[in-house]
Chains A and B, each alone.
Chain A
């Protein structure tokens, strides 16, 4: 990129007063020798001056606080969602651990045999099948009831 092209890109920033001292000096030196950039700089300067004279909209009270609070809330909500996902994954593993622990404890305390209607419930296969069906039926019923209630609350909001 030539010096002229890079100076052209800096003209708008110069008009907005956003250049540092060194950049401003370089631009002034270039504009003194380049009639095209000098003309462009004058146009940008006129725009900048005109924009400053436009009526400024009144900023609503508490806008800054509200915006800041909103940003913090969004960040907290995103962190909360990540934490939720992690916890649900960990708890799924934990649920299996608890299920196996219950089986183990029941097996120890019942002496290895808990006969109901001719079936030994303590056998690992039988216990797994019964507990899985019971747990998931209970969980599904609870999830349906809670989900329905949640939808009603959301609709009311």
Chain B
């Protein structure tokens, strides 16, 4: 399955429903308002009338789906999903969603011993205490491969 399909499956059903209703709302509004207010529009060919009714709602439909995606994705990453959903809704022009993609945390990782999902960067599993990554012998914080000293307390790693 492609990555795009996998990510699409994250969008919750209520978001699809809301997006559909948003599009329908814009469709009905565009069918009623411009054709009533502007007599010139009434003389447009059918294709033009349909385009003016159908197209403006599409970005709003996609926006609603993206907000649903942000909600589910932030939840699975252990982030503050309510806050991110609100930011996605209230920061205009989808800038909140762009910020989300720039600032989102890495995916939670399964502990190889107990399978619990834990945050990226932990040295030990908070559920079973199993080692997840190399840890500093002094302060027990995670150290990266290739480090000769702990970045937190300066303890030589190889001397441990």
CB distance from B43 to the nearest CB of A (A): 17
Smallest CB gap from B41: residue in A: A108
Chain B 29-50, CB-CB to A under 8 Å as 1, else 0, gives: 1100110010000000000000
Does the CB pair A66–B112 fall under 8 Å? yes
CB distance from A128 to the nearest CB of B (A): 11
Interchain CA distance A104-B102 in the complex, whole Å: 29
Residue numbers in A under 8 Å from B120 (CB-CB): 73, 77
Does the CB pair B103–A150 fall under 8 Å? yes
Chain A 64-78, CB-CB to B under 8 Å as 1, else 0, gives: 011011100100110
Smallest CB gap from B4: residue in A: A83
Interchain CA distance A99-B93 in the complex, whole Å: 6
Smallest CB gap from B52: residue in A: A108
Known: A62-B113, A69-B110, A108-B30. A146 touches B103 (CB 8 A): yes
Chain A 121-157, CB-CB to B under 8 Å as 1, else 0, gives: 0000000000100111011001100110010000001
Smallest CB gap from A79: residue in B: B3
Residue numbers in A under 8 Å from B66 (CB-CB): 91
Interchain CA distance A52-B67 in the complex, whole Å: 61
Does the CB pair B99–A98 fall under 8 Å? no
Residues of B in contact with A (beta carbons under 8 Å apart):
3, 7, 26, 29-30, 33-34, 37, 56, 59-60, 62-63, 66, 87, 91-99, 101-104, 106-107, 109-110, 112-113, 119-122, 130-133, 141
Residues of A in contact with B (beta carbons under 8 Å apart):
62, 65-66, 68-70, 73, 76-77, 79-80, 83-84, 87-88, 91-92, 94-99, 101-102, 104-105, 108-109, 111, 131, 134-136, 138-139, 142-143, 146-147, 150, 157
Does the CB pair B101–A88 fall under 8 Å? yes
Select one of A62, A80, A143 contacting B107, CB under 8 A: A80
Residue numbers in A under 8 Å from B131 (CB-CB): 62, 66
Smallest CB gap from B84: residue in A: A146
Does the CB pair A88–B3 fall under 8 Å? no
Residue numbers in B under 8 Å from A69 (CB-CB): 109-110, 112
Known: A108-B33, A108-B34. A62 touches B112 (CB 8 A): yes
Select one of A62, A65, A131 contacting B93, CB under 8 A: A131
Select one of B60, B96, B106 contacting A142, CB under 8 A: B96
CB distance from B10 to the nearest CB of A (A): 12
Interchain CA distance A62-B3 in the complex, whole Å: 30
CB distance from A99 to the nearest CB of B (A): 5
Residue numbers in B under 8 Å from A108 (CB-CB): 30, 33-34, 37, 56
Residue numbers in A under 8 Å from B63 (CB-CB): 98
